[in-house]
Amino acid sequence: MASYLGEHIHVSVFGQSHSPAIGVVVDGLPAGERVDMEELGRFLKRRAPGQNATSTPRKEADLPQFLSGLVDDVTCGAPLAALIENTNTRSQDYAQLRDKPRPGHADFTAQVKYGGFQDVAGGGHFSGRLTAPLCIAGGICLQMLKRRGIEVAAHIASIAREADRPFDPMGESVETMDALKRAPFPVLDEKAGERMRKVILQAKEEGDSVGGIVECLVTGVPAGLGEPMFGGMENRLAAALFGIPAVKGVEFGAGFGVATMRGSENNDPFTVKDGKVVTQTNRAGGILGGITNGMPLVFRLAFKPTPSIAREQQTVSLSKKQVEELVVTGRHDPCIVPRAVPVVEAVTALVLSDLLFS
């Protein structure tokens, strides 16, 4: 297991920040699924940089070329392959990165693992740019899920100490979920959004970056998905979500909050609604014993602040084995969280599809 994921819908991601192209192969998509290319384009644009002042001004076309797997925009059962060309490759001199690893990045661990042969330009395969192919694959799965009544939406739950209102764990309306997808800065409470943007710009001005939390909600999930123990829904989602760069924590339902709760507070009482067994609350985040119970899935991911900051940092020269100062040049997102929102949706869709289309 490395840059591939899934048993039935098997995703294999390739590319480096500055290789000729990045892309993805998706093996196992059911045949006969139409890909709405405009919808997919809108989805990819949500992840693209340069949307507003809170993200890096670098522009990307990011229009995927489909190499296989589609006939007239409909899946044909064969592996789907798509690529995005990298237009601005090798424009800079990245040689120093091989000797002076950037704090908080994978430069040092890549050096250890690949013995100096790793592609250092722009972070190579560890670049956040590799989330674009994930969004192609996940964007297609999101369309397949929506067609079956499963809605996936995420929002910025917090940036630094500024928090949005949380999702109602009992579910949100499709309108609310859809609105988030049209929002350039996806929050439920616009006032909170304004405060968050201010915090991001403040960090940017100070040559720094900030972290935050993304919360994801999935409605319409049938009960019975997932297996016991290591095949649980939490296991599968976590195994995939930690593949998004900068994620350092994943929690489901009440999450770390359960640690301070009593059983009588945390247990969700069962009840009957419209002849259907449901829970009255949803502290479990829709999962009991690793298996979905028919309630919405709710989970949160902690994103660390972008490690690339304008401030001088301390690193070492690997060749000289001595401490040196480093200034990371280039333009970077002062906060990765807003652009991570569609990536969380995409990866969630991949995991759910892998279970649903088995």
Q: Which of 139, 134, 133, 129 is nearest to 40 (CA)?
A: 139
- Of 297-316, binders to a second copy (CB under 8 A) are 302-309, 311, 313-316
- For 65, 208, 227, the CA distances from 97, given in Å and listed in that order, are 31, 20, 43
Stretch of 46-54, 55-63, 102-110, 338-346 lying at the interface with a second copy (CB under 8 A):
102-110
Out of 37, 53, 71, 327, which residue is the one contacting a second copy (CB under 8 A)? 71
Judged by beta carbon, residue 61 or residue 229, the one nearer a second copy is: 229
- 290/294 Cα distance (integer angstroms): 12
Q: For residue 5, state whether it binds a second copy (rule: CB under 8 A).
A: yes
Quote the tokens at residue 46.
Answer: 């949500």
- Of 17-36, binders to a second copy (CB under 8 A) are 19-23, 25, 27-28, 31-32
Least spacing, CB of residue 72 vs a second copy, in Å: 10
Judged by beta carbon, residue 219 or residue 292, the one nearer a second copy is: 292
Residue 153-192 contact track with a second copy, rule CB under 8 A, x = bound: -----xxxx-------------------------------
- Of 46-65, binders to a second copy (CB under 8 A) are 65
Q: What residue type is 255 in one-letter code? A: G
- Asked if 155 and 167 count as a contact pair (C-beta separation under 8 A), the reply is yes
Q: For residue 144, state whether it binds a second copy (rule: CB under 8 A).
A: no
Contacts of 227 (CB under 8 A, 6+ apart): 290, 291
Contacts of 259 (CB under 8 A, 6+ apart): none
332 phi/psi in degrees, rounded to 5: -135, 155
Out of 63, 78, 95, 327, which residue is the one contacting a second copy (CB under 8 A)? 78
Least spacing, CB of residue 182 vs a second copy, in Å: 25
CB crowding 269-307: b at 16 or more within 10 Å, else e: eeeeeeeeebbebbbbbbbbebbbbebbbbbbbbbbbbb
Number of residues that bind a second copy (CB under 8 A): 143
- Of 195-254, binders to a second copy (CB under 8 A) are 203, 208-213, 223-224, 227-232, 234-236, 238-240, 242-243, 245, 247-254
Q: Which of 97, 125, 122, 199 is nearest to 158 (CA)?
A: 199
Continuous segment of H or E residues that includes residue 81: strand 80-85
Judged by beta carbon, residue 51 or residue 235, the one nearer a second copy is: 235
Judged by beta carbon, residue 210 or residue 344, the one nearer a second copy is: 210
Q: For residue 353, state whether it binds a second copy (rule: CB under 8 A).
A: no
Q: What residue type is 77 in one-letter code? A: G
Least spacing, CB of residue 187 vs a second copy, in Å: 15
